[in-house]
A and B are shown apart, each in its own frame.
Chain A
């Protein structure tokens, strides 16, 4: 009897969550301003090491905001990444990555991206173009953009998520040390979950 009651409670809870889950296939987010949820967002970078293997690291601290305008021209993205939060899963390597050999994070603690153009079609795919500032150098970069979904969250808020991917050459930003061991090409993946304000 107790087991049955527990099962019913669990099913009721699951049904409640399902009812308030984001509409995963909604490819147009409600128009408005969104704040990036740092807990559910991530910035990943992947390089080739010694020409033989791929290695992925991440930044743990990301913030920023989005302006959603459907497929209109008013879409905008502003992202700030704390360069000192670089995390390769290895303390000594993180220290090296923060040094002037790579990010020079003590002098340039913030990596920023400010969009100049966001194109999204009805299927939720498009491009995100903007200025990436890394180590004090600003260069234009274009990401492939995909709107993952949007909808109500279980706590009464409204969320929208995107994934942006691109490949950059780190030397374009002056990060050109140890190009032999660590590839010039860096794959970037930015997964953003944002909360409507």
Chain B
């Protein structure tokens, strides 16, 4: 059934932002008897899966035919790995990141040889591992969700504007769920917030890799969005700690958005 054009944008926003948040909050409150970490993991997994199903489900198939078909399956495995002890969990996340990047590689293989594929895969893996290490070592529950939201939100905007609304909207779902994590972080143990943030980083890297190879998103904007996470290494001043925690990751995120907007107007296409 055709949706009225005027409602299309509202529908996509509801599918990518509203639905994941509603599902995540509902799951979080309905699973009260469970441990906080498990509740959070379930809430984020089902919230993300709901957004994916609403945005991409009608095009998806099982067994996976398109690379994006893998996302909910990989996210489910990621959620399971989140229940592992911390020492093992980081290695498991890294391995799954590598496997996921490989599963997202076919579009690259269609137009490049194996050497290029291996090079791109290795670079994405190294960047991903560096971001994972950052989130794990800088386990600041106040800053993690904000940095994650900035990384997801910036790349979501950039991808929606300049390549693919589907991938951009999936990134926007990550942005919305990082918001849920931010709301819940004060009531959650640090380990749960860190594990969820690390899982978020893995999903971000998969989507960034897809945005690059399926939607031709420029690496400059991607790296600027990644820099939002790298700001976790910067110290926060004792005064205005909350404000600085928000501003620091927002700066590279805004730079990524600004660069995409500049490209959009410089091209004088005004496509949307």
Q: Please determine whether B167 and A100 come into contact, CB atoms closer than 8 angstroms.
A: yes
Q: Please determine whether B8 and A106 come into contact, CB atoms closer than 8 angstroms.
A: no
The distance in angstroms between the C-alpha atoms of A41 and B53, with both chains bound, is: 39
Q: Please determine whether A101 and B165 come into contact, CB atoms closer than 8 angstroms.
A: yes
Residue-by-residue, is B1-43 near A (CB-CB < 8 Å gives 1, otherwise 0)? 1111101100100000000000000000000000000000000
- Assuming the contacts A100-B167, A107-B214, asked whether A180 and B271 have C-beta atoms less than 8 A apart, the reply is no
The distance in angstroms between the C-alpha atoms of A136 and B58, with both chains bound, is: 14
Name the residue among A95, A107, A109, A179 with the largest chain B CB count within 10 angstroms: A107
The distance in angstroms between the C-alpha atoms of A135 and B2, with both chains bound, is: 21
Q: Please determine whether B66 and A104 come into contact, CB atoms closer than 8 angstroms.
A: yes
Q: Please determine whether B59 and A180 come into contact, CB atoms closer than 8 angstroms.
A: no
Tell me which residues from 175 to 225 in chain B have a Cβ below 8 Å from any Cβ of chain A: 210, 213-216
Q: Please determine whether A176 and B269 come into contact, CB atoms closer than 8 angstroms.
A: no
- In angstroms, how far is the closest chain A Cβ from the Cβ of B61? 8
Inter-chain contacts of B216 with A (CB < 8 A): 95, 98-99
Residue-by-residue, is A9-53 near B (CB-CB < 8 Å gives 1, otherwise 0)? 000000000000000000000000000000000000000001100
The distance in angstroms between the C-alpha atoms of A109 and B106, with both chains bound, is: 11
One of B1, B67, B163 near A107 (C-beta < 8 A): B67
- In angstroms, how far is the closest chain B Cβ from the Cβ of A169? 11
Asked whether A90 is an interface residue with its Cβ less than 8 Å from the other chain, the reply is yes
Q: Please determine whether B267 and A92 come into contact, CB atoms closer than 8 angstroms.
A: yes
Q: Please determine whether A136 and B107 come into contact, CB atoms closer than 8 angstroms.
A: no
Q: Please determine whether A99 and B5 come into contact, CB atoms closer than 8 angstroms.
A: no
Q: Please determine whether A107 and B4 come into contact, CB atoms closer than 8 angstroms.
A: no
Inter-chain contacts of A136 with B (CB < 8 A): 65-66
Count A-side interface residues using an 8 Å CB cutoff.
30
Inter-chain contacts of B230 with A (CB < 8 A): none
Q: Please determine whether A180 and B8 come into contact, CB atoms closer than 8 angstroms.
A: yes
- In angstroms, how far is the closest chain A Cβ from the Cβ of B43? 27
The distance in angstroms between the C-alpha atoms of A184 and B56, with both chains bound, is: 16
- In angstroms, how far is the closest chain B Cβ from the Cβ of A77? 25
The distance in angstroms between the C-alpha atoms of A174 and B107, with both chains bound, is: 18
Interface size of B as a range:
35 or more
Asked whether B234 is an interface residue with its Cβ less than 8 Å from the other chain, the reply is no
Tell me which residues from 48 to 71 in chain B have a Cβ below 8 Å from any Cβ of chain A: 56, 58-59, 61, 65-68
Inter-chain contacts of A178 with B (CB < 8 A): 8, 165
Asked whether A177 is an interface residue with its Cβ less than 8 Å from the other chain, the reply is yes
- Assuming the contacts A107-B66, A180-B5, asked whether A99 and B163 have C-beta atoms less than 8 A apart, the reply is yes
One of B3, B67, B68, B111 near A179 (C-beta < 8 A): B3
- Assuming the contacts A99-B163, A100-B167, A180-B3, asked whether A92 and B271 have C-beta atoms less than 8 A apart, the reply is yes
Q: Please determine whether A90 and B269 come into contact, CB atoms closer than 8 angstroms.
A: yes
- For the residues of B in contact with A, the DSSP-based class is helix
Asked whether A6 is an interface residue with its Cβ less than 8 Å from the other chain, the reply is no
Residue-by-residue, is A173-189 near B (CB-CB < 8 Å gives 1, otherwise 0)? 01111111101100000
Inter-chain contacts of A181 with B (CB < 8 A): 5, 8
The distance in angstroms between the C-alpha atoms of A51 and B7, with both chains bound, is: 13
Q: Please determine whether A100 and B58 come into contact, CB atoms closer than 8 angstroms.
A: no
Chain B residue at smallest Cβ distance from A93: B271
Inter-chain contacts of B115 with A (CB < 8 A): none
Q: Please determine whether A107 and B8 come into contact, CB atoms closer than 8 angstroms.
A: no
Tell me which residues from 138 to 169 in chain A have a Cβ below 8 Å from any Cβ of chain B: none
Inter-chain contacts of A96 with B (CB < 8 A): 163-165, 271
Subset of 21 A-B contacts with CB under 8 Å: A91-B267, A92-B271, A93-B269, A95-B162, A95-B216, A96-B163, A96-B165, A99-B215, A99-B216, A100-B68, A100-B210, A101-B164, A101-B165, A104-B214, A106-B214, A107-B110, A171-B58, A174-B58, A180-B4, A181-B8, A184-B2
Residues of A within 8 A of B (CB): 50-51, 90-93, 95-96, 98-101, 104, 106-107, 109, 135-137, 171, 174-181, 183-184
